[in-house]
Amino acid sequence: MKPTIAPYPAARARRTRQSEAIRGLVRENVLTANDMIWPVFVRDGEGIEEPVPSMPGVMRRSVDLIAKAAVEAQALGIPAICIFPNTDASLKTEDCAEAWNPDNLSNRSIRAIKAAAPDIAVMTDVALDPYNINGHDGYVENGEIVNDRTIEALVKMTLAQADAGADIIGPSDMMDGRISAMRQALEGAGHHNVMILSYAAKYASAFYGPFRDAVGASGALTGDKKTYQMDPANGNEAMRMIERDLTEGADMVMVKPGMPYLDICRRVKDGFGVPTYAYQVSGEYAMVQAAAQNGWIDGEKVMLESLMAFKRAGCDGVLTYFAPAVARILQG
Ligand code: PBG
Protein residue with least CA distance to atom 5, ligand 1 = 172
Predicted local confidence at residue 222, as pLDDT:
82
Ligand 1 pocket, residue 172 CB under 6 Å: yes
Range of the domain at 125: 31-331
Q: How far is the CA of 207 from the centre of ligand 1 (A)?
A: 9
Q: How far is the CA of 279 from the centre of ligand 1 (A)?
A: 9
Q: Is 89 contained in some domain?
A: yes
Alpha carbon distance, N-terminus to C-terminus of the chain: 39
Q: Is 59 contained in some domain?
A: yes
How many H-runs (helices) and E-runs (strands) does the chain carry? 11, 12
Domain count, the chain: 1
Q: Is 232 contained in some domain?
A: yes
pTM over 0.95: yes
The answer to whether 110 and 165 have CB atoms below 8 angstroms apart is yes
Count the residues in the chain.
332
Protein residue with least CA distance to atom 8, ligand 1 = 208
Ligand 1 pocket, residue 129 CB under 6 Å: yes
Ligand 1 pocket, residue 137 CB under 6 Å: yes
Ligand 1 pocket, residue 282 CB under 6 Å: yes
Q: Is 12 contained in some domain?
A: no
Protein residue with least CA distance to atom 12, ligand 1 = 281
Q: Is 268 contained in some domain?
A: yes
Predicted local confidence at residue 217, as pLDDT:
75
d(CA 170, CA 277): 12
Ligand 1 pocket, residue 167 CB under 6 Å: no
Q: Read off the CATH number of the domain in which 140 is found.
A: 3.20.20.70
Q: Is 250 contained in some domain?
A: yes
Q: Is 20 contained in some domain?
A: no
Q: How far is the CA of 136 from the centre of ligand 1 (A)?
A: 11
Omega cis (within 30) before 9: yes
Task: Please report which helix (H) or strand (E) contains residue 83, including its range.
Answer: strand 80-85
Q: What is the pLDDT along the chain (332 residues), one digit of tens a residue?
A: 777 889 999 999 999 999 999 999 999 999 999 999 999 999 999 999 999 999 999 999 999 999 999 999 999 999 999 999 999 999 999 999 999 999 999 999 999 999 999 999 999 999 999 999 999 999 999 999 999 999 999 999 999 999 999 999 999 999 999 999 999 999 999 999 999 999 999 999 999 999 988 888 777 788 899 999 999 999 999 999 999 999 999 999 999 999 999 999 999 999 999 999 999 999 999 999 999 999 999 999 999 999 999 999 999 999 999 999 999 999 98
Q: Is 152 contained in some domain?
A: yes
Q: Which residues contact residue 104 at a Cβ distance below 8 angstroms, ignoring those fewer than 6 apart?
A: 85, 87, 91, 98, 131, 160
Pocket test for ligand 1, best of 58, 137, 174, 205 (most atoms within 8 A of CB): 137
List active site positions: 202, 256
